[in-house]
Structure 1
Amino acid sequence: MKECRIIIMGFGAVGQGIARAISLKKAMIKQDYGVELKVVAAADSSSSAICQEGLDEMMLVHIKNSEGRLSAYRDCGTNMSGLDVLDAVEYDLLMEATPTNIETAEPALSLTLKAFEQGKDVVTSNKGHLALKFSEVTQAAEDNGVEFKYEASVGGAMPIINFTRDTLSSCGIESIVGILNGTTNYILSRMTSEGSSYDITLKESQELGIAETNPTQDVEGIDAACKTVILANSLLGIDATYDDVEVEGISNITSQAIELAKKDGYLIKLIAEVSPKNLKVAPRLVKMGSSYDVSGTLNMATIKTDLAGEITVMGLGAGSLETASAMLTDVISILKTKY
């Protein structure tokens, strides 16, 4: 039986979702693809659990939630983290789920490049290194002859990168327009349905855990702009970075503006546009009942093609297990190719 030895780097919501997803699906993967997934290390920002014979995925989740540190994993816990973990254990695949850093792209950039240099495949949910240094990172993967997958970096569980590349492979992609941030869509949906103010709705979203304690990346359009860059590079072949995107968030949207739009049959949504002429994230008016009329944390995108016309995809744009599902799909894709 072939093995795929995995390191999970970053053990917040997404990292824990990865562990849960592997626990739930490893028997199916073993049966269907003849490969046994084995988590040999997991690391948070200050500690890790490392075991060449394999760690129990659900035990990792339990320890992280009960103790707060992976070093509490009996007989396997260490105070090692980051790049040192990549040197401490034999592995085949890095599943990288550290927080997005739009200023320096770290630690994702260094972790990813080091894994490539070690000849290892990488699956990531991170947006920072892709938004700032897409060409450099993807070229490094190619130079080292390894697989690099990042479906989960755009839209969580919404299928778009692999779907467009594989299912729409006969088509030229002319543009992509959509809602790429679940937090802002939730806030605007609540403001529309309840007539509440931005400040009150944001506070409620934070209490529900939908918006972060520091919501800047979401509400100021930064997260959606990062995703715009990734789609521009990966699907339209546009050599762009974050600085090439025109960005406006939703913090200035008032309940009065939303009510005026509703009277005319429109909604206000944070829309990302990806095209050769325009890389932009900004609030826009969209028709009620159109494909852009989605509520809650849903993401959607309309892909305009030369042969197949317009195709719209939709899915949950956030969530621990939902995002992990996209990462595990990338893992399976690598298993099909290499194992």
Structure 2
Amino acid sequence: MKVAILGMGAVGRGLLEMADQKDLGLVVTGIADSKSALMDKDGIHIDEVLEAKRVHGFCGDKSLSAVDIVNHADYDVLVEVTPTNATTGEPALTFIRSALERGKHVVTSNKGPIARKYSLLQSLAEKHGVSIRFEATVCGAIPVMHTLKQGLAGNRVLAVFGVLNGTSNYILTRMEAEGLTYEQALMEAREMGYAEADPTYDVKGIDAAIKLVILSNTIWGLDTVLEDVEITGIDCLTTDALRLADDQNCTIRLIAQSIPSRGVLRVSPRILPKTHPLVVEGTLNAVTIETDMAGEITMIGKGAGSVETASAIIGDLMFIRDHYAGRH
């Protein structure tokens, strides 16, 4: 199966490294980063591209771009792993639309297009007889989408709750465990590489809200957008609040929750018993799906990281390979 990859940040490089190490039956025929691109219908030598990126800072021909890959490369699946733009979803949204309109499958880790235009993209995929899959957009390596679509098929999903942001969870864990202030825990998270220089999306709950929108639209076929979510972050939490919770054998976690029957679409700090399944430590993510037949299903795992995200992307690629066998 021929694959074209847009994006050579941590996720893109992690995916290329795993594809090079494993015998997955994938042939990479197109690669683009922010400065250049490379096409070869017979397959690109991944090790050479990774070395070029490491040494020179770009992957290929500077006269080519991601647009050339999307519109002209020979591929069965476009893997879109460029940085997220939560406001417009661009330029990833246009890349994905163009690929679908060419009759190509799409796998993406990019939350922006899925959160903004899920219904449109799903309709385009159906119209052209292809698949758009986005396991990597929510909870990293945890197979949430696969569980919802395949494992829990036939169940009616009543609600979804989760710890969907590892950075915030790490900060809260350290505030609780060591009595650190929010500012001290954030500084430590930056030093550990868990928080960006500008952590706004993480600590103000925006990243978790985007993921909640994706889950809600996928599960219930809604058209919710980020602006529909009631959001409260963790940046105003104090050590005293965590201490008071601890006195009740409880703790605080940033919880995303969607309960359509009650009109609930919210991300906010919640006091939970320490034995609650969503009380996970460090950068872990956790999600609970409440259903009519299976009851509550809780999944816990790594929510970020280049190899962990590559795991989700590869899972989607293998699904397309197996489900559409004979068409490639």
TM-score class, shorter: over 0.9
Q: Which residue does 1:305 correspond to in 2?
A: 291
Amino acid at match of 2:5: I
- 2:26 partner SS: strand
Q: Which residue does 1:32 correspond to in 2?
A: none
Is 1:94–2:78 an aligned residue pair?
yes
Question: What is the number of residues matched between the two proteins?
Answer: 323
Q: Which residue does 1:206 correspond to in 2?
A: 190
- 1:130 partner SS: helix
Deviation at 1:90, TM superposition (A): 1.2
Q: Which residue does 2:155 correspond to in 1?
A: 171
Of 20, 23, 29 in structure 2, the residue corresponding to residue 23 of structure 1 is 20
Answer whether contact 1:134 1:241 (CA < 8 A) is retained: no
- 2:79 partner SS: strand
Q: Which residue does 1:258 correspond to in 2?
A: 242
Is 1:142–2:139 an aligned residue pair?
no
| Deviations 1:239-282, CA, capped at 9 Å, x for gaps | 31112111111111112211121111111111000120211111
Between the aligned partners of 1:213 and 1:88, the Cα distance in structure 2 is 37
Deviation at 1:53, TM superposition (A): 2.1
Deviation at 1:223, TM superposition (A): 0.8
| Deviations 1:168-210, CA, capped at 9 Å, x for gaps | 1121000011101111111111111111111121122112211
Deviation at 1:304, TM superposition (A): 0.5
Of 311, 319, 323 in structure 1, the residue corresponding to residue 305 of structure 2 is 319
Answer whether contact 1:5 1:38 (CA < 8 A) is retained: yes
Answer whether contact 1:159 1:314 (CA < 8 A) is retained: no
Q: Which residue does 1:237 correspond to in 2?
A: 221
Comparing 55-64 with 173-182, which one deviates more in the overlay? 55-64
Q: Which residue does 2:4 correspond to in 1?
A: 7
Is 1:47–2:36 an aligned residue pair?
yes
Amino acid at match of 2:105: D
Of 52, 58, 65 in structure 2, the residue corresponding to residue 69 of structure 1 is 58
Between the aligned partners of 1:208 and 1:63, the Cα distance in structure 2 is 27
| Deviations 1:27-55, CA, capped at 9 Å, x for gaps | 2x3xxxxxx31111211112123222212
- 2:212 partner SS: helix
Of 113, 120, 132 in structure 1, the residue corresponding to residue 116 of structure 2 is 132
Is 1:120–2:109 an aligned residue pair?
no
Between the aligned partners of 1:254 and 1:203, the Cα distance in structure 2 is 15
Answer whether contact 2:71 2:98 (CA < 8 A) is retained: no
Q: Which runs of 5+ in 2 are unaligned?
A: none
Between the aligned partners of 2:279 and 2:71, the Cα distance in structure 1 is 48
Q: Which residue does 1:295 correspond to in 2?
A: 281
Please list every run of at least 4 consecutive aligned residues from structure 1 whose deviation after the TM superposition is greater than 3 angstroms.
none
Amino acid at match of 1:212: E
Of 157, 164, 175 in structure 2, the residue corresponding to residue 180 of structure 1 is 164
Q: CA RMSD in A?
A: 1.3
Deviation at 1:337, TM superposition (A): 1.1
Identity %: 42
Q: Which residue does 1:219 correspond to in 2?
A: 203
Answer whether contact 1:43 1:81 (CA < 8 A) is retained: yes
Between the aligned partners of 2:163 and 2:54, the Cα distance in structure 1 is 32
Amino acid at match of 1:150: F
Of 285, 288, 299 in structure 1, the residue corresponding to residue 271 of structure 2 is 285
Between the aligned partners of 1:63 and 1:186, the Cα distance in structure 2 is 34
Answer whether contact 2:156 2:293 (CA < 8 A) is retained: yes
Deviation at 1:96, TM superposition (A): 0.5
Q: Which runs of 5+ in 1 are unaligned?
A: 30-35, 72-76
Is 1:160–2:149 an aligned residue pair?
no
| Deviations 1:125-182, CA, capped at 9 Å, x for gaps | 0111111111111111112211110011100001111112111112100001110111
Between the aligned partners of 1:38 and 1:173, the Cα distance in structure 2 is 37
